[in-house]
Amino acid sequence: MTGAKGATRRDVMTAAAALALAGFGLRPRPLFAATGLPLGELEVSVLSDGHLTLPMDFVLPQTTKEEIEALFAPHGLPTDALKPPLNVTLLRGGDRLILFDAGSGPRFQDTAGALPSALEAAGIDPSEVTDVVFTHCHPDHLWGVLDDFDEPLFAEATHWMPQDEWAYWRDEGTLAATPEARKSFVVGAQNRLAAIEDFVTLVRPGDELPLGIEALATFGHTPGHTSYVIHGGGDSLLVTGDALTNHLFSFERPDWPSGTDQDPQMGAATRKSLLERIATDRMRIVGYHLPEPGIGTAERKDGAYRFVPAA
C-alpha cells in the first residue's frame, strides 16, 4: 500500500522509470480519455486499457464464414479477427472516484494493460480511486487489480464484486470443470481474488452502490455477470460490461451464440432483453468493447437493433 504506509517496490521502480524517461526527454504517450459526459452532478469519463486481438473462430465458433462476411464486409472490417477496445468507465461524484472494472494488467495480452498509464495521463493516482465496481472476472476486467509487482493497485478502494461471480471463480470445482484452453482464466482469477479479498464487498442484483449506482443482473457471459445503471440529473447511463461485446453482431444478430459467453443460450437471451430495454427507454450505454469511447445507444432496425454511437 502507498502513502503514509511507506514506499513500495512499485513506487521505487516507477520513480526510477520516470527519471529514465525524463533523461531521454520522453513522456508517456497519452491514452484515450473521453471526458465531460455529465449526469446531473456526476461526470463520466472513459479511459483506454488498450485493445485485444481475438480470432473470429474464437468469438463466433458456430457462425459460418459466409454469415460473418455478409455482416462485416460491407463495413470494410476484417473477417478473420477482432481487435476490440477496452473502455474503462470512470465516474466522479462528491468524494467518490469510481472505476468500473480494473483492466487487464501486465500479464494478459501485450496490447492491453494500459489503464495505469491512462490514469496517469488523466492526473489520477490509483490511491485516489475510492471504489472499483466489477462486471465480471474475465482477465481483461479483473487482472488489472494487481500491478507489475503483484501488489494491489487500488489498495485504498472498496472492490464491489458480484456475489455469484465471487462464488463461481472461488469454487474449488471450477478449475476442473473448465476446458483446458481457458484454465488460465480460472487460475488468474483465483490468484487475484485471493489478493484483494480484504477489500471486497459482495453485490447482488438490485443492490444500490455509492452514488446511487444500480446493480443489474446480466448473466450468461459469465455466471454472475452484472451491469450497472448510473442515475443522475433525471438521466441514466448503463455500463454494460460484456453483456454487449460487439457493435455489429451483438446488436444486429443478438441471437448468434458467442464463443466468449460461458452460457451462450443465456447470453443471447440477456442481449435481447437488454437491447429491448435500451431501445425502449432510449437509454445511453457505455460498452467495454464497443468502438471507442464505447458510448451510444441502441435503436430498433429490421427486427433487431443497431448501435448508434454518441455524437
Mean pLDDT of 139-159: 97
Phi and psi based region of residue 149 (left: phi greater than 0; alpha: psi -120 to 50; beta: remaining): alpha
Is 132 in contact with 203 (CB distance < 8 Å)? no
Average pLDDT over residues 127-151: 97
Q: How does pLDDT run across 61-112, given as a tens digit for each residue?
A: 999 999 999 999 999 999 999 999 999 999 999 999 999 999 999 999 999 9
pLDDT recorded at residue 7: 39
Q: Which of 8-22, 84-98, 122-136 has the lowest mean pLDDT?
A: 8-22
Please report where in the chains the cell 464505447 appears, as a residue. Answer: 294
Burial readout 18-42 (b: 16 or more C-beta within 10 A, e: otherwise) = eeeeeeeeeeeeebbbbeebebeeb
Mean pLDDT over residues 111-132, rounded?
A: 96
Given 3-state DSSP classes, what are the helix, strand and coil percentages for the chain, each rounded to the nearest 5?
35, 30, 40
Task: Give the H or E element holding residue 204.
Answer: none
Block residue for cell numbers 432496425:
301
Q: Is 4 helix (H, G, I), strand (E, B) or coil?
A: helix
Identify the structural domains of the chain with CATH numbers, from first to last: 32-309 (3.60.15.10)
Tens-place pLDDT, residues 279-295: 999 999 999 999 999 99
The model's pTM = 0.89
Residue 297 confidence (pLDDT): 97
Please name the amino acid found at residue 63.
T
206: cell is: 438490485
Separate counts of helices (H) and strands (E) for the chain: 10, 15
Structure confidence at residue 35 as a pLDDT band (50, 70, 90):
low
The whole-number pLDDT of residue 37 equals 84
For the residues 245-272, what does the mean pLDDT come to?
98
Please state, in angstroms and rounded to a whole number, the distance separating the CA atoms of residues 304 and 7.
54
| Residue 69 grid cell | 462476411
